[in-house]
Chains A and B, each alone.
Chain A
Amino acid sequence: MKKAQEQNKPKKYGMVIDLDKCTGCGACMVACMAENNVPFKKDESNKKDSITWMRVYKLTNDEKYPDADICYLPRPCQHCEGQHGHSPCVSVCPATATDYSEETGIVSQIYTRCFGCRYCMAACPYHARYFNWWDPVWPEGMEKMLNPDVSPRMRGIVEKCSFCFHRYQSAMDKAHYEGRRDIEEGEYQTACTQACPAGAITFGDLNNPAHKVHELKKHPDAFRLLERLGTNPKIYYMSNREWVRKAGDNHLMAEKPAKKQH
């Protein structure tokens, strides 16, 4: 009965990222940039105005050797479902330039409608949204290497991770062409999932019992970032280290204090 109910649920794509597997190599960041035509600057030293839809944070437990420990935390857009279907960013956008898809659970961004008020950036607690402070410029010849499935963005608008939505569309197109109504697990993968050499990222439909993420998200080591804010993210993290799990949210003095990023 429960299974039948779950099967009738709409799709809800999400990720489970195993932080104990992540080595912080950054392959996901590079794959994401290449896949999604993310522009870059000559000088990327100021991380606060460069665009990295997928960003890897380095956390430490602040202990001295030999107890010192580090953890790398990849952070794409969390595709928050929010309260009553209102993600923090979606409900505030005055021009409906960002949207929550009931069909896939993906929070999308309509570049041609965004006028750059940046209210969504103020609303996102994960800093997952990026403003195009500059016109996108690619080294000569590189414009020929751009992914034709993804539109490059112009100056003055906000962009963010889309779970490589174009890949979902082409997977669906292929399925329809082959006379299928839907796609199987693995037919739609994000670029970062595909690129991760450690296999730390698992992607799929959180609502579909046939998908691996459906089970993984229920693992006792699974947690979500800033869960108590009520953003209801669709990115789950996993770690068997307690300090890592605690670092996922803010904690009062009575609780175990969280660790600082270095």
Chain B
Amino acid sequence: MDSALIPEGVKRCSTGKFALFIGIVGAVLLWGVYAMLLCWLKGLNQTNMNDYYGFALWIWADLAVIALGGGAFFTGFLRYIVGKDELKNIINYAVLIGFICYSSALLILAIDIGQPLRGWFIFWHANVHSMLTEVAFCLSCYFAVLSIEYLPLILENRQLNKVPFFHHLAHNMHEVMAVFAATGAFLSFFHQGSLGGVAGVLFGRPFSFREGVFVWPWTFFLFTWSAAAYGPCFTLSLTKLIEAITGKQLVGEKCVNLLAKISGWMILTYIIAKIADTWYWASVLAPAQGFTLMDFYSNNPVYGIWILVLEIVIGGIIPALILITERGRKNPMLFILAIILGVIGVSINRWVMVLQVMAVPVMPFDTWAMYFPSWQEIATTILPVAYGVILIAISYRYLPVFPQERELND
């Protein structure tokens, strides 16, 4: 029925099957929308957050999707600025994932604030000292850049591309894409960093506070670095996932290998910096505020020292070592393991930087604050996942997301 819209020379499942799939995921999406409306209409009393735990699941989800969406800016940077031409075969998909991640982040933020209709105050009454102001400005601008980067892909739909104006527009946009990629990389440097700064500047919270380099705490640089390092792992994970679902190879080995190798080296260098950061924090910064490392990890049911091991060793050192070696990358099992561990590693980092920060007692006579999200929080966190699945499914079906698909599956 919709065959005229499907890119030429590629095979897709039947319309009925596709509609059924979209229907199932759509039901999950509607569940999330219902929870979102509850939060908007009734307020944040629909969540399990409280005055001790004012930042919770949503902020983590925001930070995590933004880090994972970092594959878009970093791949764009490598392709257009550094000139790694091989990456042209995955850039469309990286941009699509980035677009989904950033639109999801903005949506979650709109649910997370107590007065959504006043969200624009962050721009109007901007406090230049606040890291969140920097985040808001850069995030919105980068989302605009991602939309511009995604647009030519939409215009390349078989039917739209027949319209001469759209055809030329898409062509010309491709020509100037380096400018947007550079703008995106610049904006990403700041907003990824500012997200690190959000926690790093909290000098009243010894778990997250870090000292400054210029006007930024050094978590600023760690966040940017980690997003560039781990973002490609997420792009590659979703590529492998969609290849497994469709039963086709969609991106050539050379391209995957190159991105994985760069990601591996980035993770390795990042994790060395992260270990140095952890060491300095545990031995100098925290004691200056009256804490030992184990004060942050003991006497609570959830945040044991295992979480630090999971973040640094399992989610950092192991994937880095696999991805930097030719043998690790060539072994399909190890490769999949590495990119999944990478995704877990960065997600855990964002988790501790917001949730553990809230849980650790600061006043000596306080206790650990524990929290479990309500179903409304869970549903609204799954909402963007369902939205992302639908957008990927539609884009894959109707747009030339993977330029190598034809040649690899002939």
Residues of A within 8 A of B (CB): 46, 48-49, 57, 59, 73, 82-83, 86, 88, 91-97, 113-119, 121-127, 129-135, 154-158, 225-226, 228-231, 247-253, 255, 258-261
Contact = CB atoms under 8 A, between A and B. Distances in A.
B287 to A, nearest CB: 6
Grouping DSSP codes into helix (H, G, I), strand (E, B) and loop, the B interface class, with mixed when no group exceeds half, is: loop
Among B50, B131, B203, B364, max chain A CB count under 10 A is at B364
Nearest to B122: A94
A241 to B, nearest CB: 14
B204 A88 contact: yes
B119 interface: yes
Interface residues of B, number: 52
Interface in B46-95: 49-55
A225 to B, nearest CB: 7
A83 B217 CA distance: 15
Nearest to B208: A122
A173 B366 CA distance: 41
B119 A48 contact: no
A92 B201 contact: yes
A226 B204 contact: yes
Nearest to A73: B365
B109 to A, nearest CB: 8
B365 A259 contact: yes
A247 to B, nearest CB: 6
B202 A250 contact: no
Contacts of B362: 125, 226, 229, 250
B217 to A, nearest CB: 12
Contacts of A258: 364-365
A252 B364 contact: no
B54 A121 contact: yes
B289 interface: yes
B129 A91 contact: yes
A127 B122 CA distance: 23
Given A46-B50, A249-B364, A250-B289, A115 B201 contact: no
Given A95-B126, A115-B121, A133-B43, A155 B55 contact: no
Contacts of A118: 54-55, 114
B199 to A, nearest CB: 8
A92 B288 CA distance: 22
Contacts of B291: 250, 252
A77 to B, nearest CB: 13
A51 to B, nearest CB: 8
B311 interface: no
Contact of A134 (B45, B112, B201, B365): B45
Contacts of A114: 114-115, 118
A226 B115 contact: no
A73 B54 CA distance: 23
A91 B201 contact: yes
